[in-house]
Structure 1
Amino acid sequence: MRFPIGRSFAAAACAGLLLAGGYALGQAKAGGDTVKPIFAQKLATMPGKTMTAITVDYAPGGSSAAHRHADSAEIFAYVVQGAVRSKVNDGPETVYKAGQFWYEPPGARHSVSANASTTEPARILAVIVASDGANLTTFEK
């Protein structure tokens, strides 16, 4: 089984570890975030769609580079620990604290995704529903 995930959201295959954008999954990157797959499951009641769950851990002061999500991807992000700054499309930059969530519509541009603290770590759980095999995330150059 292969997780249909893009550069930052690469996933582990059952037989081994995939590489994504030059980073091994679970390895902290220069941006200060670490992505870990939880599961990917094709949806029986929605043919052609897969639900994927990942965690993103942000080091204190860490962030993800600006990126876009697939035109078929709907994302629900839940803050598990700490606080995260997020700006999606033309919406305001918002700080979400543990226990809060936000929604990202299909094709969303995520210009800010960062730990709101410079001293404490943060973690989000992202649940993504997208077309089977979609490249979920494309980083801007």
Structure 2
Amino acid sequence: MSARMIAGAILAAVVSAIPATAHDTGDVVTPHFEHQIPNIPGKTLTALIVDYPPGGASVPHSHAKSSFIFAYVLSGEIKSKVNDGPTLTYRAGESWYEPPAAKHLISRNASKTTPARLLAVFVADTNEKALTTPIK
């Protein structure tokens, strides 16, 4: 099964299974799926839903050294800056990827009035303890 097919299956389950319930100025991260990849020993696929209230944001953070990330905007608009790249706005239905050990310097709702929701799919070493670490 291709990565695109896996992401599509996860997306279909996510859209119908998780309600948006963020009520503060930060983000709300909800684990949704985790499974070791049987044909890639030592790797695990993890899917998270990130809900941003209006004006909400994630703290700047780095990702695990082994993690490749696929991000897909489920609803709303997300502003994102990864490493030294530009700050971009992604709308519902758009996606991007982040390389291993990426620094996610900006991740926030582009709107002050409408919530936003993001699906983040990580492929990382199974023994990786923290997928994200705040940047101090």
Note the 1:21-36 alignment, pairs <5 A: 31-36=25-30
**1:50, distance to aligned residue in structure 2 (A):** 0.3
Which among 111, 114, 127 is matched to residue 133 of structure 1? Answer: 127
Aligned length: 116
**1:106, distance to aligned residue in structure 2 (A):** 0.2
Note the 1:1-141 alignment, pairs <5 A: 31-134=25-128, 135-141=130-136
Report if aligned partners of 2:25, 2:55 keep a CA contact under 8 Å in 1. no
Question: What amino acid maps onto 2:134 in structure 1?
Answer: F
% same residue: 54
- Give me the whole-angstrom Cα distance separating, in 1, the residues matched to 2:25 and 2:127: 26
**Bigger fraction of residues in helix:** 2
Q: Which runs of 5+ in 2 are unaligned?
A: 1-19
| TM-score, normalised via structure 1 length | 0.78
Report if aligned partners of 1:31, 1:64 keep a CA contact under 8 Å in 2. no
| TM-score, normalised via structure 2 length | 0.81
**Bigger fraction of residues in strand:** 1
After superposing on structure 2, the runs of 4+ consecutive aligned residues of structure 1 that deviate more than 2 Å are 26-31
Residues 29 and 49 of structure 1: CA distance in aligned 2, closer, same or farther (over 3 Å): farther
